[in-house]
Amino acid sequence: MTRSICMQVLPGAWLALVVLLAWGAPGIAAERCDAVPAQYAALANPEPPLEKRRLRYWRKQFKAKCARCHGAAGDGGGEEAGRQAAPPVAFTDAAFMDNCTDGQLFYQIAFGGEDKSAMPAFGPESDQGWSEQKVWQMVAFIRRFAE
């Protein structure tokens, strides 16, 4: 009950705390990449860079499927971010993105966060049923946030 009163009185303070924890604890996000099996971590994105005409499609996909947690700007500040046990990754964090391989990002999108986060799976065997090609294209799209 005390927590709900605090959440009502100081919602901005809670959001600030979540953001500070996410920025102040880079190890949490890094662990997500480090926990990926080596055979995936070593994979390179086989898809060519996204063409300008495809960016609109991927922007819509990101907004519909990812922005709730990761934020429309990819900064990890979506409306659901504060409700997550582990803060959503900020794709705008160049240091994090530089330390994650395309294969690690592919694995996280395809198989989800497992027990590390609330990230759902999007791969071929998930409820979303994205093809491997589609997952790789999302990897290419989210890389753009750190540019």
Domain ranges in the chain are: 2-146
Q: Looking only at Cα atoms, what is the longest distance across the chain?
A: 52
Per-residue pLDDT of the chain (147 residues; tens, 9 = 90+): 333 333 333 343 333 333 333 333 444 455 567 778 999 999 999 999 899 889 999 999 999 999 999 999 999 999 999 988 888 999 999 999 999 999 999 999 999 986 767 889 999 999 999 999 999 999 999 999 998
Model pTM score: 0.77
